[in-house]
Amino acid sequence: MTRKLHGITLLLGLALLAGCASSGVNAPTPGQEALIWSSEAQRPGWTMMEPEGVEDGLLTFVGTSLRHATEQGAREDARRNVTSAVVKYMGTLVKDKFEKASVSYGLDSSVIDPTSSARQFEKQLATNLDGQVKPKNWYAEKWQTPTGIGYQYFVEAKVPANALGDEFKKLAKQQARDAEKKAKEAADATAKAQAEKASEFWKKMQEENLVE
C-alpha cells in the first residue's frame, strides 16, 4: 500500500512539472522566486522604455511596482512610481535649463540656485500632477516567492506636455514676483541690481518651452 501511494504521488509530481513546462511557466523551486503567471506571454518592450520627446502633445513614462501581496496594492504602487518618474525627470530637465540660463545671465547661485529651484518645481509638480498622468497600458506578473505570492505591475502612462509647461510657467511667474519684491526691499544698489536681474531672468523663463 505504501509503495502504491508513493508511486501515485510521484506520478502527480511529474504531471505537475510537465504541465508547468508545457505552459511556459517556471516551476517554483523551494526557497527561490519563480514567475507563475503573466498577463502577456512576454514582458512588453515598453516596460523598459525611457522618456523621450513629445509625441502628439504627450510625454510617455513607465512605472514599476514592487512585489505586493495583492493586485490592487501592486497597481497603486505602479501608479505612484510613474508619477514619481515624471516628477524626477522634469526636475532634472528644469535644473539643467536653469543652470544654462543663469550662466548666460551672469547670475551666481546666491541669486538663482538651480538645485533649489528645481526642488521647488518638483514639489509643486507632485502636488498638482494628480489627474494629469493617464495610464495607457498595463502589464502584470504573479510571482511565487519564499514568503508567498507576490504581484508586480507595470504601467505606461501619458502626460500632456502643456500641463507640465503650465506648471513651469507658474513657478517662473512666482519667482519673478519674489525677485521684484527683493529689488524693492534691497539694502544697497548691488543687491537691487542682482534682484532686478533675477526678475528679468524669471520673466524670460515664462516665455520658454520646457519640453519640445
Model confidence pLDDT, tens digit, residues 100-133: 988 888 888 888 899 999 999 999 999 999 889 9
d(CA 162, CA 14): 58
- Structural domain boundaries of the chain? 26-161
d(CA 80, CA 82): 6
Sign of the torsion angle spanned by Cα atoms 16, 17, 18, 20: positive
d(CA 105, CA 107): 6
| Vertex 125: Cα angle to 124 and 126 (nearest 5) | 95
What is the per-residue pLDDT across 134-178, written as a single tens digit (0 to 9) for each? 999 999 999 999 999 999 999 999 999 999 999 999 999 999 999
Entry pTM: 0.81
**Mean per-residue pLDDT, 13-38:** 61
Mean pLDDT of the chain: 87
Residue 1 predicted with pLDDT over 60: no
Run of H or E residues at 25: none
Residue 20 predicted with pLDDT over 80: no
Residue 68 predicted with pLDDT over 60: yes
